[in-house]
Amino acid sequence: MAERMVYDGYKDAGYEYLIIDDCWSFYYRSQGKLIADPRRFPRGMKFVAHEVHYRGLKLGIYTDIGTQTCAGFPGSFGYYKADAETFAEWGVDYIKVDGCSADPKQMDDLYTELGQAIRSTGRDIVYSCEWPLYQQKAGITPNYKNISKTCNTWRNYDDIGYSWDSIYGAVEYEAANQDILTEVSGPGAWTDPDAIVVGNYGLTIEQQRLQMAFWAVMAAPMIMSNDLRSIDKESKELILNKYIIAVNQDPLGKMGRRLSKINNTDVWTRWVSPKLPDGRMSMAVLVHNANAFGGPMRVVLGISDLGLDSAAGYQVNDLVHDNALVGVFYPHQSIIVTVPPLDIFFFKATVNQA
């Protein structure tokens, strides 16, 4: 899979982490240390990390904050310092920490303790938490300010499945909690609605476009969960769309938010670069027709209603269709778009120099 990431253009597009999820370890520890399953990884995980790094990629791995992983393998509870040191010694660059076997009431302390152990190794490791996911399931309101200070990314919602209902459920959670999430998200701390499932069965190409666009607007980690050896051409082109990726990776690091939802049509906006010296910024705008039936939805977007007020105007480009120029628009004007059912219009309004 690492070779597919390199030779098929994914690494050059910005996908740099190869993450191994649950079931990589042996059933028991050896002298208190985690070890890789000798049948699946006969040379050990340090060798895997070396091979991944040799190809210019970074390695991610999985553990659980409790005593067992979700699949019943050893968790890290009671071994936080030892496991953090083991992962660092192996050369791991990213750790996904699940919470299947821990009490959600204790997760504030447990995830903080493991985070401190990871930082104390001195290795630059991305710390991906599932802390708020388990707390909100247990009826506990997550303390996102503390979570964002501890974790680099955090899962909020259920595991993504290969269906639009699953994806849109995560989107709706982000929208319902956008006031706090936009406050705490930014460089070094990102909300994570789970993996990109583009290229799998169960989604139309329109729905795959929707997921890519939503993840870009939400500034969410773009972590693929698919088989790059068998992905179809159209899905691959979508995953490699450099204009959508550029919005996702925008250096301002601002999470987008839902501006409105009328007649089951969403409008999401995200401030992006370039930013002018006077503080005016560009904007990515996502229009989503969530209706599964009926005809296309006509949507009128007033430029000033979007919060765009530069008298110099904005150049508008279609991010899905090869950055095609839509036109130049000014605050007194409107963009009129027609969006088919379960589809999007995703564009960037780049502020012009005065």
Catalytic residue positions, numbered = 98, 159
Tokens representing 321 are 């269709």
d(C-alpha 289, C-alpha 341), whole Å: 5
Chain-centroid distance, C-alpha 281: 23
31: CB partners within 8 A, 6+ apart: none
Residue 349's nearest CA partner among 337, 338, 176 is 337
CB 62 within 8 A of CB 34: no
**Residue 304 has what DSSP assignment?**
G
Q: How many residues does the chain have?
A: 354
d(C-alpha 265, C-alpha 181), whole Å: 22
Taking the alpha carbons at both ends of the chain, their separation in whole angstroms is 47
The DSSP code sequence of 226-293 is S-TTT--HHHHHHHT-HHHHHHHT-TT----EEEEEETTEEEEEEEEEEE-TTS-EEEEEEEEE--SS
Chain-centroid distance, C-alpha 350: 24
By CB atoms closer than 10 A (0-12, 13-18, 19+), residue 314 is buried
Query: At 221, is the secondary structure helix, strand, or coil?
Result: coil
- Name the pairing type of β-strands 190-192 and 343-351: unpaired
d(C-alpha 238, C-alpha 207), whole Å: 11
Indicate left, alpha or beta for 122 from its phi (over 0: left) and psi (-120 to 50: alpha).
left
Residue 107's nearest CA partner among 64, 65, 62 is 65
Tokens representing 169 are 């459920």
